[in-house]
Amino acid sequence: MKTPNFENGQIILEPDGSILEASEEFCDWVGQSISKIKGQSFWQTMVSMEKEWGELIPKIEEKQNAKYFLPLGIGDKSSIGIHVTHKNYPKLKISILSITTGLAPHDSLKDAFLGDLMQNPKAIASTLVRLQKAESRLADYISNFPGIFFSQRPDMSFSYLSKGIRSLFPEEYREFSRDSGLFLSKILEQDREHYLNEINSQKPSGQTYSFTYRVVLPQMHQVVYLLDVRTPSITSQGKLLGYDGVLIDITRQAIAEHRLSNSVWREGLATLTNGLVHDFSNLMAGIFSISELYFGMMEKDDPMANGMGQIKKSAMQAQKLVRRIIDLHRQKPANRAVQDLRLLLKDQIDLLEIIIPRSARIKTNFGKEALPAFIEETGFRQVILNLAINARDAIERTGKISISIRKVEEGTPLVSDQKSVAEIAECTGAEVSISDNGKGIPDSIKEKLFDPFFSTKDATKGSGFGLYNSKLFIEDHNGKIGFVSEEGKGSTFFLFIPLFVNEASKKKNLKKERRATREFVKVRRSIPPKA
């Protein structure tokens, strides 16, 4: 029997012990292709290679995270073999086997193995090669591991950091070994006390523990969530020598938690807002009724009539604004329905005029054609609000913001999203664009603009979720979102949403056309040919 030439073979088993999947290395070792080995009994496959293994491989019902050793026919047949680790996953209804080559675990075999080495110098060379391979594999594992291995001194400086730290701090990673306070300064200010408390509270125990915190990367205030898993190294006298551990980027998991907590936050806010809005609406209704009464009693040339008219109009606008706030913070998002995007955008201007400074100029172009789309209204309003707020921040109180919507036919070029070549509309839809003449977006961050937790604003002022959530909403509606920008000249963000097509009416019209065609053909056939 040939010795396996792999360090770790992987096999996935069905509950009945049949092979569901296997690595190429394992298939090469047993001499069968992956297509042939699938469905075979793992027990039978191994016994066909060595009959004695049949008594050593546990039965299926006994394979509950078992570990066992299968000797190879080298020397006395027991000094070298393969170690099998069997992990059962009942919920997934699979088992995963890991096979590695190694020495027999029995102490009684040490003498035999050493004897093999003394009698066979090639065995010594083979062992050294295996050790070198194992060391190389360990180095590769550390380099490619999606985390950062570290050793930290008691003063919080680092004696060792794996290469993963370079992806977070490409310019400063070397300084972490010299400056004990540098890494602490990279932790988000709101999380520093939490970081120190977790470390100080766990010193005496010497047990492995974990906690999370946020660090601010040098790339335009981007925030990353880190899971810190560490083990204090403590002497028998209780003196702290340092820490060994690993840092893992859990930003994606934090995104999921954020979305969950955000829904809870919205639920609570909606409850509070509903009560406030009820009282506010009653107040505005009273103001509106009184102003309308007095306005009706005044003569047109009364100098107070204009002012009273403005009070009446402002009360109406306040009621609309309240309804918009309720839409944004309802407990449940509105169901999708056919909405005229033109009217929604036009109606949203009432709210935008409040958040955009009066010193700024707002230019709109909504056209006159209805643009129906099957859409969730509240989410659409939130996307428009996010883009308008970004435009407001870009112009810094003085400047111009343009908001427009147009119908785009299939095959028509769209505004380019970060590319020099414009995209083509794959169907008929509506394109909303929000432009500003602000400072523009640097080329170095354009690719990161829609990433979660990425923001060009101070970490305390922006969550980095506005554009990310907008992208999710638009893509969920089979649309597109993008931008074009030039430093010093401004930016234009656009979103494309397919228009609603009434399939029933479409089919009805198609039937009418087919019926008319048949009638035409029937009439033409009934006309006698000319002599």
H helices of 298-336, in order, are: 303-328
Residue for token digits 């070792």? 29
Per-residue pLDDT tens over the stretch 125-157: 665 666 666 666 666 655 666 688 888 888 888
- The percent of residues above 70 in pLDDT, for the chain, comes to 63
- How high is the pLDDT of residue 382? 81
Residue with the bigger pLDDT between 258 and 21: it is 21
Using the predicted structure, report yes or no on whether residue 432 has a pLDDT greater than 90: yes
* SS3 at position 240: strand
CB-CB neighbours of 22 under 10 Å: 24
Averaged pLDDT of the chain: 75
Q: DSSP string spanning 189-227? A: HHHHHHHHHHHHHHTTT---EEEEEEEE-TTTT-EEEEE
User: Both tokens of residue 512?
Assistant: 């009418």
Residue with the bigger pLDDT between 507 and 444: it is 444
- How high is the pLDDT of residue 417? 44
Residue for token digits 């509240």? 378
- How high is the pLDDT of residue 314? 64
Distance, CA of 13 to CA of 20 (rounded, Å): 5
Angle at 402 between CA 401 and CA 404, to 5 degrees: 150
Cross-strand partners of 402: 363, 435
Using the predicted structure, report yes or no on whether residue 495 has a pLDDT greater than 80: yes
* SS3 at position 19: strand
Q: What is the 3-state secondary structure (H, E, C) of 436-460?
A: ECCCCCCHHHHHHCCCCCCCCCCCC
- 186, 213 Cβ separation under 8 angstroms: no
Mean pLDDT of 68-91: 71
Distance, CA of 341 to CA of 367 (rounded, Å): 11
Residue with the bigger pLDDT between 270 and 213: it is 213
Distance, CA of 315 to CA of 322 (rounded, Å): 11
Using the predicted structure, report yes or no on whether residue 332 has a pLDDT greater than 50: no
- 195, 214 Cβ separation under 8 angstroms: no
Cα 51 to Cα 45, 70, 73, 166, distances in angstroms: 10, 11, 12, 51
**Predicted confidence band of residue 498 (pLDDT cuts 50, 70, 90):** very high
User: Both tokens of residue 71?
Assistant: 């000797």
- How high is the pLDDT of residue 318? 63
Distance, CA of 254 to CA of 226 (rounded, Å): 9
Domains along the sequence of the chain with CATH: 9-143 (3.30.450.20), 148-249 (3.30.450.20)
- How high is the pLDDT of residue 353? 73
Q: List for the chain the helix, strand, coil content (%; round to 5).
A: 45, 25, 30
Mean pLDDT of 64-69: 76
Distance, CA of 480 to CA of 421 (rounded, Å): 15
CA 95, distance to chain mean position in Å, is 29
Residue with the bigger pLDDT between 181 and 9: it is 181
**What does the chain come to in residues?**
531
Q: Which of 234-243, 388-397, 498-507 has the highest mean pLDDT?
A: 388-397
Cα 127 to Cα 25, 80, 119, 495, distances in angstroms: 20, 11, 14, 62
Mean pLDDT check: name the lowest of 246-250, 507-511, 515-519.
Answer: 507-511
- 10, 3 Cβ separation under 8 angstroms: no
Mean pLDDT check: name the lowest of 92-96, 119-123, 186-190, 458-462.
Answer: 458-462
